[in-house]
Amino acid sequence: MLQVIQEFQVGRPQMFAGLMLLAFLAQALWGAQARKLSSLEFQYIEAGLPQRPGQEYRVTSPLTSWVAALPFRVARYAAGKSMSQARFVPSAWMPRLPFAIFGVWLGAALWWVARRLFDDAGGYVALGLYCSSPAMVMIASNVGPEIILAWSIFGMVYTAIGVAHTLYAPVRKWAPRIVILGLSIGFALATALWSFTLAVLALAFMLYLAPGRRLAALGVWLSASGIGAAVFGAVSWFTRGRSVGPHSLVDPKVSRQMLETLNFVFADGYLPLNSYLFVLLFIVALTAYGSWSRARYFGNTAPLITGFSAVLLFSLVPAIHLWDATLGLSFVFLFVGGVAADLLETEWGRGVARILAAGFLLRAVLGIVALGRWIRVPV
């Protein structure tokens, strides 16, 4: 076992998880290279570059624009050219590469949280679902706010939960966690301002987990929110506010379509058979959760609540033009991983393991087929 830094060791579980994340990255790079850039992707890239006279942008995510333009800024400094001379797209994968990195980062965060909550078994199940998810690969191989928002929301919620657990520790240990929580909130706000609604949900989790320290929890959340507001302001200033439009503000609209988004678990597979395979796993996990008291605890309940809340809340603001389903999938993968870890510890554990292995093998094959079909669809 190799110890890289203090309290983090690289052993067999980390190596296996790393191989799974490499497979995810390979799929994302495949999709990034094989597809042409869409007009909306060009909008995000242009909004992150120095503005041309009279140019207007329809996109509403400052951080997405900055990240999309980052490869061009790096290329400019490396080549010593002016930005006006660097307005070209040498390859489709170049502006999409940072989003693929965010996808790997989210997968690593998902595995880390799942392993701490549910041990190795839960971590492998959650990460296996993530790395074989065509929907997550698609947003990680595309220029858009979904993967950054999914990453920042996941970090925000679980950093808040972690902070709540440390409120009984000495105050000197709070500062680093407050800063991390503030950065998470800031990145989420800079990606989509409406994500403040999930910051409020994170506060609710903190208040629930610290019944004797609720004033301290509120103070920590307000301090982190102040840092988050500063991060949002800095990103907006750096992009000159060109991608901050009225649709990124509070403009909720209740509709029938809003409720229809709650079937977002069907959007994971892209192909019907792949979707039904995951839906079957989710239904089994949900049935076990509802009928088995051992599976009903906060570690399983929090991702279930957050997954559906994220999709429902963002569907209130259709003008943001997000693929809402992907915002809840990582939380649902965590929920299934938690219930699966509980089932694997029962007398039926060996049978459950075989079913999961067969399901993951089939899901991986179907996922590759789905990505191949998606890549051939004109943008």
What pLDDT score was predicted for residue 7?
52
Which position has the token pair 């792949």? 274
Whole-number Å distance between alpha carbons of 328 and 277:
17
What pLDDT score was predicted for residue 86?
46
Amino acid at 84: S
Helix (H) or strand (E) holding 3, with range, is strand 2-5
**With a cut of 50, which residues of the chain have pLDDT below it?**
1-6, 83-86
DSSP letter at 271 equals S
What pLDDT score was predicted for residue 1?
42
Q: Which burial class, exposed, middle or buried, applies to 350 when counting CB atoms under 10 A from its CB (0-12, 13-18, 19+)?
A: exposed
What pLDDT score was predicted for residue 172?
77
What pLDDT score was predicted for residue 262?
82
Which position has the token pair 């990195």? 101
Amino acid at 162: G
What pLDDT score was predicted for residue 159?
94
What pLDDT score was predicted for residue 2?
44
Whole-number Å distance between alpha carbons of 48 and 69:
5
Query: Tens digits of per-residue pLDDT, 69-91?
Result: 888 877 777 666 554 444 555 57
Whole-number Å distance between alpha carbons of 107 and 109:
5
Helices (H), the chain: 12-34, 39-47, 62-79, 93-131, 134-140, 146-165, 174-191, 196-209, 214-238, 256-260, 272-291, 298-314, 325-344, 349-375
What pLDDT score was predicted for residue 188?
95
Whole-number Å distance between alpha carbons of 159 and 257:
31
What pLDDT score was predicted for residue 317?
82
What pLDDT score was predicted for residue 249?
57
Give the burial string for 270-295 (b: 16+ CB within 10 Å, else e): bbeebbebbeebbebbbebbeeeeeb
